[in-house]
A and B are shown apart, each in its own frame.
Chain A
Amino acid sequence: MILDGKCPTGPIETSWDRHRFESKLVNPSNKRKYKVLCVGTGLAGGAAAASLGELGYQVEAFCYQDSARRAHSIAAQGGINAAKNYPNDGDSVYRLFYDTIKGGDFRAREADVWRLAQVSNNIIDQCVAQGVPFARDYAGYLDNRSFGGAQVSRTFYARGQTGQQLLLGAYSALSRQVKAGTVKLFERREMLDLVVVDGVAKGITCRNMVNGEIESYWGDAVILATGGYVNVFYLSTNAMGCSVTAAWKAARKGAYMANPCYTQIHPTCIPQSGEHQSKLTLMSESLRNDGRCWVPKKAEDCEKPAADIAETDRDYYLERKYPSFGNLAPRDIASRAAKEQCDDERGVGPGKRGVYLDFADSINRLGADTIAGRYGNLFEMYEKITDEDGYKQPMRIYPAPHYSMGGLWVDYNCMSNVPGLFVLGEANFSVHGANRLGASALMQGLADGYFVIPYTIAGYLATVKPGEVKDDHKAFKQSADEVKADIDKLLSINGTKTPSEFHRELGKIMWENVGMARSEESLNEALKLIPALRDEFWKNVKVVGTNEQFNQELENACRLADFFEFAEILTKDALNREESCGGHFRTEHQTDDGEAMRNDEDFCYVAAWEFKGAGVEPELHKEPLKFDNVKLAVRSYK
């Protein structure tokens, strides 16, 4: 089937304004009759729930953490982009639009990206009004820094904790609505099913993580803002609780999963120290503003302390390969370049899977105090984890799975192919194409939540009779029974391996075969290994405890069961996409000097997969991508 993204036609500069005018509205006195469920309380979900509550809708918001303030948006460090052009350095909505399309390697929809760039400026204003303490200069004006993939300084920041501060802004707006009674908050709830009635999303089934009760919630629309899925690699920079579960439950009920093979490997993470590791820690790529990446030129130097390696024996590989962007090359390029150096036996640190990020030049130029002012908390974090002082010796970094550009397919209104199901933020696929630029995730989350969904959801709700289906409908009981049956099954297997062991094994399969570089051979290998491990999981997993208690082993097992099904779709998508673009690198498709080679003739489309059951071939639906405003070009950062 050919999918239609329902993007506005005509001049792109006015597309969002025209669409807003043409969308239906819900009369103020009717809004309170509609109930909207919002799953996830990060930037996208928190902002959406707060904004919809303000408008007068009844909102119920859900999160798996004990507080809405803890969603993983909180961990974003570096900043948020906006086209304010405060530094007077040539930025504009068009340039932000262009950079994002190009950064995404021409695999995103023009109209969606334009809208994102357009509302980016409103986000900054909104956050300032909420009291977000952005960095300011001595005149009292907002400060900007530069970030990978852009030649202008458009990134607003709050020390190294921008995500936290923006999330606390959204959370405070949400708290205000809880107090006002428009939003009901349900913490420690995990969504375990989407309830679909006659093909339309009408509610969700949750597990109360404190007492194990299976609960039903009805709504006239369901919003998923449930983040990304890179924990499919086991080791990633995501929080331990991040999973594909909510999105995957929707996929099992008919929502299409789009471009799942677009996963971002972040270049500046702390390398793995051993088998015991449970997660990888990211350090903001803003570090690349002042740090220089290098490895020894000669493999035999790799064991030496960095200080003993002469300047002439160092290879500043990013500056060498990409002279105009240098250390600020986009993430996918910087990550692959680091892997190439290590594959070339020139990596440093344990297992030789690391490269140096060196601040010596910047410290000499600016002084250690200035560097501490910019990145103090990151140096502190690095020292806690590695026991090394980044001021005195170069940091060691290595790429790690970080973000998923792919996600549930949505149209221009952020609605999936299942009517009534909206998907926001990282959970959808819409704006980052095949690669996301730094400081754009925060921008997308807040854009979707504050400034997109309040308009687009009205267009849908205006066509629905409020409260037509409630939780007394038989579909809710059926969904709850199915969820209960799955949980009972997991608890009854009583095998010999824990969910964590299985997760680690799945992660290893994915990282080795579907990681930073993929080939037909490795992908086919993964397609053999994943179903085999999944079968073993369902025969041999050991989940201790009961459902009726706080049970983290059970939570992990439920999430892992979904990762097992999802991993296969991700791999199939990677196998189908016979080209290299952004975060998806197929070793068969590269230029002589190792750069990604896109195939616009055959693959300039969104791949949206319809799940048909575990082990059954999924069906591929395509949405062709049209570029009317940006010329498709080979992405060059040289």
Chain B
Amino acid sequence: MKLTLHVWRQNGPTDKGKLETIDAPNVSPDQSFLEMLDDVNQALAIEGKDVVAFDHDCREGICGMCSQVINGVPHGGQERTTVCQLHMRKFKDGDEIFIEPWKARAFPVIKDLVVDRNGLEKIMQAGGYTSCHTGGVADGNALPIGNPVAEYSMDAAECIGCGACVASCPNSSAMLFTGAKVAQLAVLPQGKVEAQRRVMAMTEAAKEFGFGNCSNHYECQASCPKGVDVKFIAKLNREYMKALVS
């Protein structure tokens, strides 16, 4: 396949940045999207040109490192798929493809397609945990947790922290990310103990680091590579209300 790429190039956070057109002349349908970009970069490097910077690591859809908006959609629009698992057979010969970084005020660009997602770290640090010390905890089977509760918690825990939810949201809201963590812990007996403190602290942190509020567009769920459900945003709101009135 022969493709034409329009890639966002930006040399550092203060650079203005622009779309640059790069040809991808020899693409195999069995390649992953990132392998296609690897080839493009090899060609650039041989010519002595600056390669396109993009975050990636595990390349099997679990580390959450890859972060590209492809043709306007975070992760490229294939359901429940990260960029690294998107394959070129989903494109056609002659296609033009627009590749941009996550765009959100809370995610400044480091270079090209690489952004700084430290805001998500701050939300986690504010309260995304149970405050248990290493050692001195009860036996794993001491607290039975019904299968449906465990499954609900696991559904929420699927989040890989990539930030696509923020990138797809018109308000750059991190409420799907935050809600997933709040919900995962709030339904478990070991997480319930400090559920109120957690939801307040994480919500405050999200506000402080420039993430917006949810206005029910549900773009986050559509772009989430793990299919995390917006019901966890509802759960976040419910937990927040409970904490406010208690």
Q: Which A residues lie at the B interface, using CB under 8 A?
A: 47, 50-51, 54, 65-67, 69-70, 72, 74-75, 84, 86, 122, 124-142, 158-159, 161, 164-165, 168, 171-173, 175-176, 178-179, 185, 187, 210, 239-241, 273-274, 276-279, 281-282, 380-381, 384-385, 387, 450-451, 454, 496, 498, 500-501, 542, 544-545, 549-553
CB-based contact B128/A175 at 8 Å:
yes
CB-based contact A133/B42 at 8 Å:
no
Identify 7 residue pairs between A and B in the complex whose beta-carbon atoms are under 8 Å apart, listed by A's number: A124-B140, A125-B139, A127-B140, A133-B188, A187-B121, A384-B61, A385-B85
Asked whether any CB of chain A lies closer than 8 Å to the CB of B126, the reply is yes
- Contacts A122-B135, A173-B129, A278-B59; A67 near B145 (Cβ below 8 A): no
Instruction: Report the Cα distance A273→B30, complex, angstroms.
Output: 7
CB-based contact B129/A172 at 8 Å:
yes
Asked whether any CB of chain A lies closer than 8 Å to the CB of B184, the reply is yes
With a CB–CB cut-off of 8 A, which chain B residues contact A74? 58, 62-63
Asked whether any CB of chain A lies closer than 8 Å to the CB of B229, the reply is no
Considering only CB atoms and an 8 Å cut-off, how many residues of chain B contact the other chain? Answer: 78
CB-based contact B48/A544 at 8 Å:
yes
CB-based contact A281/B60 at 8 Å:
yes
CB-based contact B146/A136 at 8 Å:
yes
Instruction: Report the Cα distance A86→B141, complex, angstroms.
Output: 9
Instruction: Report the Cα distance A609→B64, complex, angstroms.
Output: 37
Asked whether any CB of chain A lies closer than 8 Å to the CB of B114, the reply is yes
With a CB–CB cut-off of 8 A, which chain A residues contact B235? none
Most buried by A among B11, B46, B62: B62
Considering only residues 123-168 of chain B, those with a C-beta below 8 Å from chain A are 124-135, 137-141, 143-147, 150-151, 153-154, 157-158, 160-161
Q: Which residue of A lies closest to B130 (CB)?
A: A131
CB-based contact B124/A130 at 8 Å:
no
CB-based contact A176/B28 at 8 Å:
no
Q: Which residue of A lies closest to B44 (CB)?
A: A544
Considering only residues 155-210 of chain B, those with a C-beta below 8 Å from chain A are 157-158, 160-161, 184-185, 188, 190-191
Among A129, A171, A282, A385, the residue within 8 A (CB) of B87 is: A385
Asked whether any CB of chain A lies closer than 8 Å to the CB of B4, the reply is no
With a CB–CB cut-off of 8 A, which chain B residues contact A175? 121, 124-125, 128-129
Q: Besides the contacts A67-B121, A500-B42, what 20 more A-B pairs have beta carbons closer than 8 Å?
A: A54-B133, A66-B116, A69-B64, A70-B64, A125-B137, A131-B130, A131-B153, A133-B157, A133-B184, A135-B150, A158-B154, A172-B124, A176-B125, A274-B28, A276-B35, A276-B39, A279-B60, A498-B46, A544-B51, A549-B111
CB-based contact B38/A278 at 8 Å:
yes
Among A67, A135, A139, the residue within 8 A (CB) of B161 is: A67
Q: Which residue of A lies closest to B185 (CB)?
A: A131
Among A54, A132, A240, A384, the residue within 8 A (CB) of B134 is: A54
Asked whether any CB of chain A lies closer than 8 Å to the CB of B6, the reply is no
Asked whether any CB of chain A lies closer than 8 Å to the CB of B50, the reply is yes
Among B30, B129, B138, B146, the residue within 8 A (CB) of A176 is: B129
CB-based contact A50/B121 at 8 Å:
no
CB-based contact B53/A165 at 8 Å:
no
Considering only residues 85-101 of chain B, those with a C-beta below 8 Å from chain A are 85, 87, 89
With a CB–CB cut-off of 8 A, which chain B residues contact A50? 134
Considering only residues 36-89 of chain B, those with a C-beta below 8 Å from chain A are 38-39, 42, 44-46, 48-51, 53, 55-65, 80-81, 85, 87, 89
Instruction: Report the Cα distance A176→B185, complex, angstroms.
Output: 14
CB-based contact A550/B35 at 8 Å:
no
Asked whether any CB of chain A lies closer than 8 Å to the CB of B120, the reply is yes
- Contacts A240-B59, A550-B114; A126 near B147 (Cβ below 8 A): no
- How far does the Cβ of A444 sit from chain B's closest Cβ, in whole Å? 16
With a CB–CB cut-off of 8 A, which chain B residues contact A282? 60
Asked whether any CB of chain A lies closer than 8 Å to the CB of B31, the reply is yes
Instruction: Report the Cα distance A210→B55, complex, angstroms.
Output: 12
Most buried by A among B111, B150, B184: B150
Instruction: Report the Cα distance A273→B88, complex, angstroms.
Output: 13
CB-based contact B154/A67 at 8 Å:
no
With a CB–CB cut-off of 8 A, which chain B residues contact A276? 28, 30-31, 35, 38-39
Most buried by A among B56, B134, B151, B184: B134
Q: Sort A-B residue pairs by CB-CB distance and give the 3 closest, nearest first.
A: A140-B144, A172-B129, A129-B137
CB-based contact B45/A136 at 8 Å:
no
CB-based contact A67/B130 at 8 Å:
no
Among A131, A165, A168, A241, the residue within 8 A (CB) of B190 is: A131
With a CB–CB cut-off of 8 A, which chain B residues contact A75? 58, 60, 62-63
Asked whether any CB of chain A lies closer than 8 Å to the CB of B104, the reply is no
CB-based contact A136/B58 at 8 Å:
no
Asked whether any CB of chain A lies closer than 8 Å to the CB of B110, the reply is yes
Instruction: Report the Cα distance A633→B134, complex, angstroms.
Output: 38
Q: Which residue of B lies closest to A446 (CB)?
A: B134
- Contacts A54-B134, A542-B46; A239 near B126 (Cβ below 8 A): no
Instruction: Report the Cα distance A124→B157, complex, angstroms.
Output: 17
CB-based contact A172/B51 at 8 Å:
no
CB-based contact A240/B57 at 8 Å:
yes
